[in-house]
Structure 1
Amino acid sequence: MADETTLREELRQRVADFLAAHDPAGTERLAFLRARYDAGLAWVFFPEGHGGLGLPRTLQAEVDQLFKEAGAPDIDRESNGIGLGMAAPTILRFGTEEQKKRFLRPLWTGEEVWCQLFSEPGAGSDLAAVATRAVREGDSWVVNGQKVWTSNAHNAKFAILVARTNPDVPKHQGITYFLCPMTDPGVDVRPLRQITGEAEFNEVFLTDVRIPDSQRLGAEGEGWKVANATLNSERVAIGGSVARESGMVGVVSRTWREHPDRRTPELHERLLRLWVDAEVARITGQRLRQKLALGQPGPEGAAAKLTFARLAQQLSGLELELLGEDGLRYSDWTEVRPVRVDFTGRDAGYRYLRAKGNSIEGGTSEILRNIIAERVLGLPAEPRVDKDIPWKELRK
């Protein structure tokens, strides 16, 4: 393969040629995005034929910047974050060629929004305890169960789903991973109102939902392996900031600069410590993303997500202290079902309340510490007395 400098020059020329043939100002948005995907300029680090060119991941940022400078339409990363950050890399790694061709293009263009049907009322931190059942009937699977804390389920056309397909084996072995149509008449999505006032999450009831076997991702019984790859991608996606002073540290830094009358030596020291922590986390996240193989993140993403949650909560708390009584005002507690979620959006009160969920979603901080200890640091695992007990015995 050519060196990266040569690849970069060739890629810049490819983008220039594409823009010459597809005027951003005169091409309809969806048509432009579809053409960009077909040209391999969507995910340049994905294989050819699936939105990419098989190039190093480090070149993606430059491609995105070239399209931005040209004023080209872009994908909506916030409204389809689960699809782009979790479903896509998992489909790329475990999907068949037919599945990749069917799902990746409309996922990237935003024509099909995705959600995640993993957590259940009795299987949150312990994902392997999922009780939702999938029973094989001919060329389809019939799914029954309940999922909870599902972001964007009210807008999604598809979901990544884990269900129990074999109750007679240890719980980690009896799970299978599916690509579930959210338009099936057996899918019932109900809002869950949060402490912020929004109904950003949902509970989803699945009643005799039929999923074609062609939408099973990975082998039957290997859902735990596939789900872990998805969760690693999720933690990297949640935990990463690209620009310096982006995210909560940027918000709090601006608040500090705009309110000199609220400053104290103690608050100054806390802000400096958190700013340094945020910068270390940002640079570490950049290094982690550079190490990612195609769709194959490692358990190190747990550290990025764990750090993100801690910083978001500490920084949002510091912002309230800086604002004093102004930080106690809450602008709007109307129940809405948002299309996208901005962790730094709205006012300080919203940010403070929303940050409380950061240590739960994407894996609780307690579970992530176990992952870091066992899979990253190589410390002895906690004893698991149930590892060889069939799931149906555990359920008694």
Structure 2
Amino acid sequence: MELVEKHRSSCTECGQCIEVCPRYNDLGLLERLYGYLEGHSDIDGDSLLRCLTCGLCKDACPEGLGIKMLISPARQKWVSEHGLTDRQKMVDPEAENNLFKKIAELDETPVYEERSGSVVYFPGCAGTYINKIMAQATVALLDKAAVDYTVMSGVEYCCGAVSAGSGDPGPIRRNGQRNIEEIRKRGAKTLITACPGCFKAFKDIYPKMFGKLDFQVLHVSQYLELLIREGKLAPEVVLKHKVFYHDPCHLTRVMGVYREAREVLKHIRGTELANETPENSACCGFGGGVRVNYPSESLDVASDRYRAAEKLGCDTIITNCGGCMQNLIEAGKDERIEVFDLAEYLSLACGIKIEREDSRMLELVNKAYRLCISGYGKSDCL
């Protein structure tokens, strides 16, 4: 297999990937992955499921390799041989145990007017059903800036990126072209996404699968920074906080977007940004399916972000990813540091306050996990 040969011939086995990895501590994993991908040996599922797909290993590797580039194809091979588990199917829009459909049965889902617009806001499944504050705050800011926008929300527009990351490319193949056509139909010149996974899907995966897009794709942090730069949003409220910006893995390490969110925070009076670069940034523990496969371990990783923020003397953590926000809030139930989505924090600076119910959100999502996944949490006491 060409990928294996490239990795094997370039890897010096220096161990720097393992040194930074929050999940693996055995360099022998590489040989197990080589053998499995080449068809010489089998591999245990735990070796594949523990990966957060955070990209820390690639950043640390002198050759730009890391472990993730082997994990992703190995997961797809595993699925082709063993089939999909209920954990892998739970974000497939057509699955009976779809997590977001289950949450919609348990709670009211915000409804946004579907219309034409030069800007399409794509809150993703997390922003639509779980971290609703992200979408509500962004829509409020778009209204304040008098943007001609429309919202594409709901599981029927799922981008498919999370399923693909778990080894199931089906949803992205089924939904991708249809999503592109819907955006075109609404007359959009710009698409803005809330979720880093959705951003990667539209910015990177879709063009490779379906051809060049005829609209611009921006992450919401990029668009908010643009609105401030153009004078369409002017933060006027003083927010006196020392802020730790938590870089979402797939936005920062995978897609290289980290500057704009920091620029937004620098425009908010009273706010001091403690970490001006993504140096030493790390994962929240949510990604790669780890949150549903190893719940307590996932939250332990998230707790490390509070220690990093405390070390810098921060009283606030800001992020702009639904998964990061969910994990940080749940891991920080007993912490004194507050967690905000970037759009929510900016909305406060613009005089807009939207009520948030963290305890209700956590209750709903964990109930949905238990209803959608067999044996969820029985070995991890949540």
Normalised by the length of structure 1, the TM-score is 0.28
Q: Which has the higher contact order (CA 8 A, sep 6+)?
A: 2
Normalised by the length of structure 2, the TM-score is 0.28
Q: Larger strand proportion, structure 1 or 2?
A: 1
- The structure having more radius of gyration, on CA atoms, is 1
